[in-house]
Amino acid sequence: MQITKLTPEQQSPVSYVKTFTTEELEQEYDYYMAQKLMEKMLGTGIISVAEFNKITAKNRQTFLPFLSEIMPKMT
């Protein structure tokens, strides 16, 4: 196996850095907390997998987490 060290000239610069507003950070946190609650409810049997998936899809629409576009679709 050959290992090559990259020099600064070989590395591509970061072309986009996302800065979050306070509102966006609050939405991310609210989504995270809602999902943690749903995971606990699923784990204890209070809700079914189908209900979990429906609520997760609704939470993504409501809270608009930053990475929602690449998150797996909930069915």
**DSSP state for residue 14 in the 8-state scheme:** P
Using 50, 70 and 90 to split pLDDT, how confident is the model at 15?
Answer: confident
Query: Which stretches of the chain are assigned E, i.e. beta strand?
Result: none
Q: What is the pLDDT of residues 52-70, one digit of tens each?
A: 999 998 988 888 777 655 5
pLDDT for 52 equals: 94
15 or 30, which is more confident?
30
Do 63 and 27 contact (CB within 8 A), yes or no? Answer: yes
Using 50, 70 and 90 to split pLDDT, how confident is the model at 72?
Answer: low
Tokens for 70?
């690449």
Tokens for 32?
């995270």
Tell me the whole-structure pTM to 2 decimals. Answer: 0.65
pLDDT for 75 equals: 57
